[in-house]
Amino acid sequence: MSNDTVLILFPIAVGIVMLGLGLTLTLDDFRRVVRYPKAMVVCLVSQMLILPAICLGLVVAFDLRPELAVGMMLLAASPGGSTASLYSHLFKGDLALNISLTAVNSVLALFTLPVIVNLSVAGFVGSDSSIGLQFDKVIQVFALVLIPIAIGMAIRARFTDAALRLERAVKVLSVVVLILMISSVIAGLGSEVFDILGEIILAVVAFNLISMGLGYFGPRLLRVGERESIASAFEIGLHNASLAITIGMSPTLLDNSTMAMPSVTYGFVMFFTAAVFGVVVSRRVRAGTATGDFSAAPSRV
């Protein structure tokens, strides 16, 4: 399959991923927000405001070239995805909170992502650049995200049993889609990929670790429960790399392979860093429970 064909299929692939996300959501997931007021506010403020500011600091500190700087900001602006829920389930986070956060973040990102990307393009590439998410491209992003999610939610509401069966299959397919996207970007860049990887690997890993740390320790400092803090860590730390890669690579959106490389790198390393982070946090919880330190034990806010 040629690289051009893969580029055309990118939006379809992400549509499938978003459909899978919709299959996990119900209207109750949005209503549930009121049950976690402190956890929701802390996580959303971290995701929408603090995280982009941290990413901007890393971009400046590592002195990344303009295209990579925009790519990092695109990654920071992308919402969490189904991978966050998977890791939260594996490491005893509050899965209901994760699902609610993903639902709300996916909607809010439709408004914040174009703003952050366009400001980044203006600041790093130049205000006269043709790159960016103009109004018609913003509408495409809306359609790419909202329509499949809405279809998935409708299927879940009407055919619950079938949706649950499809959900498992789509989760596997989502990982396959991400791997294919990463492979396509690497193939398209050729030997240049190693030079780019050398430039961004430290910034990407630092951003990933800081994101998970912020997601976990921020809520803990504000006395949010352990399970909710674990959910927040994975929600903030594991971005929807598939969406970010599609926006970066799609010929009708940013159409820039270099801008997609931070998300490609992130999509690869997050599986390993998240697993290590989950093991460390799980041990902390067990140690706290064993010693009677209930500040580390699961609780609900």
On whether residue 299 sits in a domain, the answer given is no
Instruction: Give the whole-angstrom CA distance, residue 119 versus residue 294.
Output: 44
Higher pLDDT, 56 or 161: 56
Range of the domain at 202: 3-291
- What pLDDT is stored for residue 70 in this prediction? 93
**107 vs 136, 149, 202, CA distance in Å?**
18, 10, 30
Q: What is the pLDDT of residues 254-263, one digit of tens each?
A: 778 888 889 8
The answer to whether the CB of 195 falls within 8 A of the CB of 260 is no
The amino acid sitting at 3 is N
Instruction: Give the whole-angstrom CA distance, residue 54 versus residue 60.
Output: 10
Taking the CA atoms of 230, 232, 237 and 242 in sequence, report the sign of the dihedral they define: positive
Q: What is the pLDDT of residues 270-294, one digit of tens each?
A: 889 999 999 988 777 666 655 555 4
Token look-up 């961004």 returns: 200
On whether residue 152 sits in a domain, the answer given is yes
Instruction: Give the whole-angstrom CA distance, residue 227 versus residue 229.
Output: 5
Q: What is the pLDDT of residues 52-98, one digit of tens each?
A: 999 999 999 999 999 999 999 999 998 877 778 778 878 888 877 88
On whether residue 169 sits in a domain, the answer given is yes
On whether residue 300 sits in a domain, the answer given is no
Q: Give DSSP secondary structure letters for 233-274.
A: HHHHHSB-HHHHHHHHH-TTTT--HHHHHHHHHHHHHHHHHH
If one counts the domains in the chain, the total is: 1
On whether residue 142 sits in a domain, the answer given is yes
CATH code where residue 229 lies: 1.20.1530.20
On whether residue 298 sits in a domain, the answer given is no
On whether residue 68 sits in a domain, the answer given is yes
